[in-house]
Amino acid sequence: MEDQQRHKAPIKDTRTEQIHAFMEDLPLMAVRYSRQHRLTYVNRPVVAFFGGTAEDYIDRDFLEFINVPAPSVFLSRLNALTVENPVLEFEQSLEANGGKEKSIRWITRVLFDDVGHRLEYQAIGEDVTLRKETERQLKRAREDALRASRAKSDFLASMSHEIRTPLNGIIGMAEYLGTLDLPPTHAQCLSLINQSGQMLLELINDILDFSKIEAGRMILDPQKTDLSRELDLLHNLLRERATNKAISLALDLDLPSRFHYTDITRLKQVLLNLIGNAIKFTHRGGEIRVRARELPADRLEFKVCDNGIGISREKMTHLFEPFVQGDGAVSSKHEGTGLGLSICKRIVEQMGGGISVESTEGEGSCFTFTILTAPPGETPLESLPGPARKSRSDTSSIKALLIEDDRNSGTVLRKLLQQAHVDARLVQSAEDGLALLNQSRFDLVFLDLNLPGINGLEFAGNIRQGRMGAIRSDLYFVAYTASATTSVQQQCREAAFDDFLAKPITASSLEEVISRYRTRSRQKR
């Protein structure tokens, strides 16, 4: 009987064999190691990665095998594993067969028996070298793209400033000369100069806005707005342009509420673009109708409809894409960058709405868009005042000081102010401006932000904080610059400017500033 038992075949551990068979077929490295951290099994991928044979690794210390740089730290993490949290993940740099350094991601698990005692550890290793190198390349590519985007934005901002400054002289002087009694031929030439300057300004604004949107740098500033009043002003502004083509421009408002929370600057930009396009693509004697109405859930709906040339079904598919025009060509008789509708779409979407178009070729088009107008959750920063109604009835004397280092720009602004019956003095440095403010009484100060030496922001901030002597603290400061970006306007708010005037200056934009000043003066009396 004893001889029979002595010659019995050893009992096979079928479960272990099944586990090993599964591990051998894995494309990943797989190992098992004991409670004492000694290797008890390695699969074929381990041997292929490190070389040798499977037997070479049995009973080796697992920590030595994976070349742990801080064994005590790793052991503390390993000992902290529990039944509820039995898995540890980490990455380790290892030298593969052939001497190449590889990054290996390990997932190790501790196995417990029914009473919570540790039985053994199992680990899976994945070669993530290629993935990490790809991630590094993607990160470098993203950083390069961000640097290129910043460089592009900085370049465009710089070029905007440089182009707006001479445009200020062209448009401003053209508007000033337009008020004089000129011969018809001269007046016609002057009108062409002014229209060309305005067209160039629109192109610059489109390119800058598109760049800003692409970089995610367009920030909305919703404010409590008398929308009916603002739309009336916009209607009056565009009616003259429509009248020049004998086009009827009608405005229908269904706005029971007087005030709405919106970024009026961006909203008017969308409407200006849509109505401007309607005027551009409508024949003489045509009709354009603009409608605005309140919808439930704090929404507004706008429609701009015309009976112009219309848009074909094929072209409508790509109408809101960049550099596409409704007539299908950028370089056609209808000037423009083809960015306008793309910018409108991005702005409307950022305002929580959407835009669509219905059109029949040869019969006209109707653009519809909606926006959200809910009050913001937090009180927004006070924005610089928006457009106000023109008021020429107030003829009270106003004295203005212009501090502008560019004599041409200063001369344009001074002439436009004189045309608006404002007594204006011009100096070309902050020092000369400070001397005049100490000698004479002024009501408005138009301050160029890019003055040599102390800049406009510092100059205004120091006066507001009483650092410039006994100068009146109630002066109405107007920031005057070609850098008409959101960040610059924010800096002006922080420096306590009362108003903002972007170059190129027009008679209408200047009159709005004067009107706001007069309104504030009356309120203080």
Q: Which residues contact 75 (CB under 8 A, 6 or more apart)?
A: 63
The predicted model gives 155-177 an average pLDDT of 75
| In the predicted structure, residue 286 carries a pLDDT above the cut 80 | yes
**What is the torsion angle, in degrees rounded to the nearest 10, for the CA atoms of residue 97, residue 101, residue 103 and residue 106?**
40
pLDDT category of residue 59 using cuts at 50, 70 and 90: very high
pLDDT above 50 for 1: no
In 10 A of CB 24, how many CB atoms? 13
- CA 447 – CA 405 distance, rounded (Å): 10
**What 3 state SS string does 114-150 have?**
CCCCEEEEEEEEEECHHHHHHHHHHHHHHHHHHHHHH
| pLDDT bucket at 382, cuts 50 / 70 / 90 | very low
Helices 129-178 and 184-214 meet at what angle, rounded to 10? 160
Confidence at residue 384, expressed as pLDDT on a 0 to 100 scale: 42
Judge whether residue 487 has pLDDT over 90: no
Residues 6+ apart with CB under 8 A from 175: 194, 416, 506, 507
Q: Which two tokens stand for residue 423?
A: 């007594």
Nearest in space to 126 (alpha carbons), one of 98, 101, 103: 103
Q: Do 328 and 405 lie in a common domain?
A: no
Of the candidates 210, 502, 225, the one whose C-alpha atom is nearest the C-alpha of residue 380 is: 225
DSSP letters, 241-265, are HHHTTT-EEEEEEE--SSEEEE-HH
In angstroms, the CA 263 to CA 374 distance is 11
Q: Would you tell me the crossing angle of helices 340-350 and 184-214 to the nearest 10 degrees?
A: 50
Domain boundary among 127, 151, 173: 127
- With 50 as the cut, is the pLDDT of residue 9 above it? no
Residue 174 lies in a domain: no
pLDDT value of residue 331: 39
Tell me which residue range forms the domain holding 28. 11-127
Q: What is the pLDDT of residue 110?
A: 94
The answer to whether residue 211 is domain-embedded is no
Average pLDDT, the chain: 81
* 449 and 318 share one domain: no
Q: Are residue 493 and residue 372 in the same domain, yes or no?
A: no
- Asked if residue 332 has pLDDT above 50, the reply is no
Rounded to a whole number, what is the largest CA-CA distance in the chain? 136
Do 18 and 121 have their domain in common? yes
Q: What is the mean pLDDT of residues 346-366?
A: 90
Range from 111-120, 312-321, 393-402, 483-492 that averages highest in pLDDT = 111-120
| Residue 240 pLDDT level (bands cut at 50, 70, 90) | confident
Give the SS3 label for residue 166. helix
Last residue of a domain, one of 84, 106, 127: 127
Residues 351 and 403 in one domain: no
* Most confident option among 86-90, 144-148, 195-199, 372-376: 86-90
Query: In sequence order, what are the beta bridge partners of 287?
Result: 248
Residue 330: pLDDT band (50, 70, 90) is very low
When pLDDT is averaged across residues 292-319 and rounded to a whole number, the result is 89
Q: Is the peptide bond before 504 cis (omega within 30 degrees of 0)?
A: yes
pLDDT tens string 464-473: 777 766 677 6
Checking if the pLDDT of 294 tops 90, the result is yes
4 assigned to some structural domain: no
Supply the CATH number for residue 305's domain: 3.30.565.10
Band of residue 67 on the pLDDT scale cut at 50, 70, 90: confident
Q: What HEC string does 485-513 produce?
A: CHHHHHHHHHCCCCEEEECCCCHHHHHHH
- pLDDT attached to residue 71: 87
The pLDDT > 70 percentage for the chain reads 83
The residue type at 331: S
Confidence of residue 378 (pLDDT cuts 50, 70, 90): very low
Query: What integer pLDDT is reported at residue 486 of this predicted model?
Result: 67
CATH number at residue 112: 3.30.450.20
From 29-33, 218-222, 238-242, 329-333, the region with the lowest mean pLDDT = 329-333
Looking at residues 392-416, what average pLDDT do you find?
77
Query: Which amino acid does the sequence have at 491?
Result: Q
Question: Whole-angstrom Cα distance, residue 186 to residue 251?
Answer: 34
Half-sphere exposure of 179 (CA within 13 A, CB side): 14
pLDDT at site 326: 52
pLDDT band at 456 (very low <50, low <70, confident <90, very high): confident
Among the listed ranges 137-151, 206-220, 233-247, 449-463, which one has the minimum average pLDDT value? 206-220
Residues 436 and 478 in one domain: yes
Domain count, the chain: 3
Residue 237 lies in a domain: yes
* Residue 147 counted as domain residue: no
Shared domain check, 517 and 412? yes
Same domain, 350 and 436: no
Extended beta strands in 9-84, E state: 29-34, 39-42
Q: What angle do CA 406, 411, 413 make, to 5 degrees?
A: 100
Q: Of 4-18, 85-99, 127-141, 197-211, which range is least confident?
A: 4-18
- Is 344 inside a domain boundary? yes
In a domain, 139, yes or no: no
Indicate whether 361 and 413 sit together in one domain: no
Residues contacting residue 90 through CB under 8 Å, at least 6 positions apart:
74, 77, 105, 106
Asked if residues 302 and 292 have their Cβ atoms less than 8 Å apart, the reply is yes
Residue 231, pLDDT above cutoff 80: yes
Q: What are the residue ranges of helices labelled H in 179-319?
A: 184-214, 227-243, 264-280, 313-316
* Same domain (yes/no): 375, 406: no
pLDDT of residue 173: 82
Residues 506 and 358 reside in one and the same domain: no
The reply to whether 193 falls in a domain is no
Domain check: are 226 and 374 in the same one?
yes
The fraction of the chain above a pLDDT of 90, given in percent, is: 24
Cβ atoms of 365 and 280 within 8 Å: the answer is: no
Distance, in Å, from the CA atom of 178 to the CA atom of 275, rounded to the nearest integer, reads 25
Domain of 483, CATH number, reads 3.40.50.2300
Mean pLDDT of 389-410: 70
d(CA 119, CA 111): 6
- In this prediction the pTM is 0.44
